[in-house]
């Protein structure tokens, strides 16, 4: 193409041999026509390439500037979407025709200033300005003339942002992309600038509620709140707004997610230490759901109306009057009749012959709750039996020994008893 122009220029030089005489630019006439750092090649050659010579030397406007320019330049309007400024305006709205001091004979040094001749500058200049916009180079994302993409983008909406932000590309087969990302980043971010941090379209703390009102309403209304969710609606403590390798856009694997916070002294409103990391990691027998890496089998991470943000009821006391529904948290997965019947050979192994010892301990007005004997998260004894259990300020020893067909306890509650499923010990 360059060669073509060069040839053309040479041709012009020959056909107007002695051009100096005919020059329109003299010390008197049109002397500022070439006052540019770079002169547009045809201007340097002959004014009549573009202008018509009229007898009375009256200036005649060039009839169709764009067509005229396109005679030598690649058609700037050959793509699907043509910039209004080009289709219904002139090349000269943005370019000087005779030459220029800046790139591509533009009328301003900064490209954004060229755009701001027509476009409102305010939306581009809010408190938080996107990096590339701050540099003023709109062409990093937009074509100036025409494009096959919406909004004259240099690349389709889907990939324009990840061209630079490759870490936000969650389109891989093993990755899970947050649904709104499929429609492009501008569902949540302004590509130009915004009054909110990270050029978000709303405050980071309110953004999620625009689409997840059910959850954010619940987070506000539940009786037992999980502080990390409620304080400033920090959904991003656990979720990545863009995507993740894990379900539910969790930042890390579900188990690690919980344990990474619960690995230190976390004193709750009740004065209890919520460091669960030690218990889970240092004990041999982990509870089924935890083995599966699933704390949310029992807890609702967003808070709940039940004690300890459990998904269902569980008594918070050491003693409580028996009612099946009080243990709904356990009976979601375990046999709900566990402590209901006095005699059984099927419902539980905690029995002396057919005498149900779960019934004996749990099913009474001053029934012991499961925590009296079980450590729910993990334990070093089989069947999640605790070594000791908190009883007021005392840690009451449980003293459990398991045998093939039963076991024995030497707790702080009573003298040592044993049970045997095959050969009744007590004969009751
Ligand atoms: C590449 C094409 C081209 C060449 C070559 C060219 N011009 Fe122009 N010129 C234009 C265009 C386009 C305009 C704007 C016309 C309009 O507004 O209608 C223009 C405008 C003008 C104007 C009127 C407005 C102004 O800027 O003062 C004058 C005078 C002028 N040209 C003189 C010249 C002279 C003298 C030369 C040779 C040194 C020359 N032109 C070479 C394209 C050209
Ligand atoms: C007679 C042929 C011809 C016409 C008509 C013409 N140009 Fe050019 N233009 C050239 C040549 C030759 C160059 C120098 C080529 C190069 O450096 O790539 C050039 C360079 C340019 C450049 C700078 C390109 C760059 O990469 O920096 C711009 C912008 C430009 N022209 C715009 C226009 C506009 C706007 C018009 C119409 C007003 C126009 N041209 C009309 C031949 C022409
Ligand atoms: C809305 C403003 C605008 C209009 C109107 C416009 N251009 Fe441009 N043009 C630009 C900008 C901005 C650039 C520089 C892009 C960049 O950063 O590379 C440019 C670059 C160019 C270049 C340099 C090579 C290239 O493609 O990057 C040429 C040649 C050119 N324009 C020709 C034209 C012609 C011919 C017309 C009319 C048909 C025209 N322009 C209309 C803004 C405009
Ligand atoms: C001469 C006036 C003018 C200039 C200069 C101008 N534009 Fe435009 N632009 C328009 C008009 C008119 C429209 C169509 C109406 C609208 O969307 O505002 C438009 C539309 C757009 C659109 C939306 C296209 C769509 O499909 O919705 C983008 C993006 C755009 N311009 C970018 C730019 C950029 C980038 C620049 C600077 C390089 C620029 N404009 C310079 C007049 C201009
Ligand atoms: C980082 C890429 C990027 C940069 C840089 C950028 N834009 Fe955009 N622009 C976009 C995207 C993406 C859209 C489509 C937004 C949407 O989906 O609403 C857009 C839309 C637009 C629109 C049409 C819709 C609207 O918001 O009015 C205009 C006009 C526009 N941009 C002008 C500009 C101007 C002027 C500049 C330089 C100051 C600029 N853009 C810089 C990516 C960018
Ligand atoms: C041309 C490269 C480029 C493109 C394309 C691009 N960005 Fe950026 N983006 C940057 C740079 C550079 C920064 C500043 C990085 C920094 O400060 O560490 C940035 C920063 C950001 C930030 C962080 C702002 C903050 O306060 O930390 C967000 C959000 C962002 N971009 C979103 C987008 C979106 C959405 C798109 C697509 C519309 C996009 N980017 C396209 C280069 C780009
Ligand atoms: C559902 C809303 C949403 C969508 C869609 C979205 N983001 Fe974000 N983005 C956020 C939020 C919220 C933040 C604030 C930081 C956080 O919560 O981690 C953020 C922060 C960022 C940051 C700065 C902080 C960081 O993590 O580097 C960049 C860059 C970014 N987003 C780029 C993108 C890109 C690129 C896309 C599209 C591929 C995109 N975002 C789509 C909500 C979104
Ligand atoms: C303490 C970590 C944590 C915080 C903070 C958190 N989430 Fe979640 N979220 C999770 C976990 C874990 C899951 C998966 C639940 C499951 O496995 O049943 C989840 C699931 C979800 C789901 C999909 C399943 C559903 O219940 O619809 C949405 C939507 C959601 N969270 C939105 C939010 C919003 C909005 C916020 C901020 C108000 C938030 N999350 C704060 C941990 C958290
Ligand atoms: C523009 C609307 C929109 C915004 C804003 C938004 N989301 Fe979503 N989100 C969705 C949609 C749509 C789904 C898919 C819902 C479905 O499949 O039921 C979804 C799904 C989710 C899921 C479940 C993902 C899964 O694997 O099923 C989580 C978790 C989530 N969003 C968290 C968030 C968080 C945290 C924020 C704030 C940073 C947020 N969302 C902001 C629209 C949004
Ligand atoms: C970002 C840190 C963080 C993450 C992640 C986190 N937590 Fe918490 N959690 C806390 C803090 C701090 C407290 C103590 C403050 C409070 O809520 O009273 C707490 C309290 C709790 C409580 C006691 C609630 C009550 O009613 O007193 C439970 C149960 C809990 N978290 C379980 C979980 C589970 C399950 C997960 C994983 C889904 C998880 N946490 C993830 C920080 C975290
Ligand atoms: C099988 C159901 C279940 C699973 C699974 C479970 N929890 Fe719990 N969690 C409970 C119950 C029940 C309590 C109340 C215990 C009590 O009061 O003795 C509790 C209490 C807690 C407490 C309060 C401190 C304490 O020791 O009582 C934290 C913190 C906690 N769980 C975190 C987690 C984390 C983190 C996970 C995943 C590693 C997890 N839980 C898995 C049922 C469960
Ligand atoms: C989300 C389902 C689920 C919930 C809720 C649940 N568990 Fe479990 N539990 C299991 C699974 C799975 C096992 C492992 C069974 C196995 O290894 O054969 C298990 C094992 C046990 C064991 C040891 C049994 C054995 O054979 O090793 C005890 C004791 C136990 N759970 C008590 C409880 C208590 C008390 C609660 C209520 C706080 C509870 N569970 C809630 C799923 C659950
Ligand atoms: C007095 C202590 C004690 C109490 C209170 C107690 N358990 Fe147990 N539980 C045991 C013992 C001991 C075993 C082991 C039986 C065996 O395998 O020999 C056991 C076993 C289990 C098992 C394994 C299956 C089975 O029944 O053999 C589950 C599940 C279980 N208990 C759930 C619960 C639930 C739920 C509660 C509260 C409603 C509870 N336990 C209360 C002592 C107790």
Which tokens sit at 422?
A: 């095959």
User: Does the pLDDT value for residue 8 go beyond 60?
Assistant: no
Cα–Cα distance measured from residue 72 to residue 68, given in angstroms and rounded to the nearest whole number: 8
| 235 pocket-lining for ligand 8 (C-beta < 6 Å) | yes
Q: What is the atom index within ligand 12 of the atom nearest the CA of 385?
A: 29
Closest CA to 363 of 353, 375, 350: 350
Closest CA to 305 of 226, 395, 418, 242: 226
Cα–Cα distance measured from residue 147 to residue 149, given in angstroms and rounded to the nearest whole number: 5
Ligand 5: centre distance to CA 192 (Å)? 6
Ligand 10: centre distance to CA 116 (Å)? 50
Cα–Cα distance measured from residue 368 to residue 320, given in angstroms and rounded to the nearest whole number: 6
Mean pLDDT of the chain: 89
pLDDT digits (tens, 9 = 90+) for 384-394: 999 988 888 88
Cα–Cα distance measured from residue 85 to residue 102, given in angstroms and rounded to the nearest whole number: 20
| pLDDT for the residue 37 | 92
pLDDT digits (tens, 9 = 90+) for 290-318: 999 999 999 999 999 999 999 999 999 99
Farthest CA pair distance, the chain: 131
Closest CA to 312 of 326, 329, 296: 329
| 130 pocket-lining for ligand 6 (C-beta < 6 Å) | yes
| pLDDT for the residue 208 | 92
User: Does the pLDDT value for residue 6 go beyond 70?
Assistant: no
| Best of 287, 339, 402 for a ligand 12 pocket test (most atoms within 8 Å of beta carbon) | 287
Residue corresponding to tokens 């990390």: 228
Percent residues over pLDDT 70 in the chain: 93
| Best of 225, 248, 311 for a ligand 8 pocket test (most atoms within 8 Å of beta carbon) | 248
Ligand 6: centre distance to CA 7 (Å)? 44
30-39, 85-94, 372-381: range with lowest mean pLDDT: 30-39
| 156 pocket-lining for ligand 12 (C-beta < 6 Å) | no
Residue corresponding to tokens 């067509």: 67
| pLDDT for the residue 59 | 73
Ligand 1: centre distance to CA 81 (Å)? 29
| 152 pocket-lining for ligand 4 (C-beta < 6 Å) | yes
User: Does the pLDDT value for residue 11 go beyond 50?
Assistant: no
Cα–Cα distance measured from residue 69 to residue 264, given in angstroms and rounded to the nearest whole number: 70
Q: What is the atom index within ligand 7 of the atom nearest the CA of 211?
A: 1
pLDDT digits (tens, 9 = 90+) for 155-197: 999 899 999 999 999 999 999 999 999 988 999 999 999 999 9
More confident residue, 133 or 59: 133
User: Which residue CA neighbors atom 29 of ligand 13 most closely?
Assistant: 334
């Amino acid at each position: 193409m360059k060669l073509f122009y060069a040839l053309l220029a040479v041709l012009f030089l020959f056909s107007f041999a002695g051009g100096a005489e005919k020059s329109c630019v003299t010390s008197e006439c049109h002397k500022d026509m070439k006052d540019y750092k770079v002169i547009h090649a045809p201007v340097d050659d002959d004014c009549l390439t573009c202008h018509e010579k009229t007898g009375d030397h009256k200036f005649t406007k060039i009839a169709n500037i764009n067509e005229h320019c396109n005679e030598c330049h690649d058609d700037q309007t050959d793509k699907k979407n043509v910039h209004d400024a080009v289709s219904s305006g002139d090349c000269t709205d943005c370019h000087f025709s005779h030459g220029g001091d800046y790139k591509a004979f533009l009328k301003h040094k900064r490209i954004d200033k060229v755009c701001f001749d027509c476009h409102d500058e305010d939306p581009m200049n809010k408190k938080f300005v996107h990096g590339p916009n701050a540099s003023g180079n709109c062409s990093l994302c937009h074509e100036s003339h025409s494009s096959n993409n919406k909004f004259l983008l240099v690349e389709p909406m889907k990939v324009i942002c990840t061209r630079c932000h490759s870490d936000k590309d969650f389109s891989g087969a093993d990755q899970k992309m947050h649904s709104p990302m499929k429609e492009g980043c501008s569902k949540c971010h302004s590509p130009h600038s915004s009054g909110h941090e990270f050029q978000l379209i709303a405050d980071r703390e309110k953004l999620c509620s625009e689409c997840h009102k059910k959850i954010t309403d619940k987070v506000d209304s539940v009786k037992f709140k999980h502080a990390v969710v409620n304080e400033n609606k920090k959904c991003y403590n656990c979720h990545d707004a863009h995507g993740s390798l894990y379900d539910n856009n969790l930042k890390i694997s579900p188990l690690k997610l919980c344990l990474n916070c619960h690995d230190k002294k976390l004193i709750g409103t009740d004065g209890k230490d919520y460091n669960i990391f030690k218990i889970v990691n240092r004990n041999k027998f982990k509870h089924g759901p935890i083995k599966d890496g699933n704390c949310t089998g029992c807890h609702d991470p967003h808070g709940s109306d039940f004690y300890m943000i459990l998904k269902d009821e569980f008594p918070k006391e050491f003693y409580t009057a028996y009612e099946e529904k009080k243990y709904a948290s356990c009976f979601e997965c375990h046999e709900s009749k566990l402590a209901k019947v006095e005699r059984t050979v099927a419902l539980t192994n905690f029995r002396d012959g057919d005498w149900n010892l779960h019934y004996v301990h749990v099913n009474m007005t001053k029934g012991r709750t499961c925590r009296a004997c079980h450590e729910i998260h993990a334990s070093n004894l089989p069947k999640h039996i605790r070594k000791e259990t908190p009883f007021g300020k005392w840690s009451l020893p449980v003293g459990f020994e398991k045998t093939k067909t039963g076991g024995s306890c030497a707790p702080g509650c009573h003298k040592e008893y044993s049970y045997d499923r095959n050969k009744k010990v007590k004969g009751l």
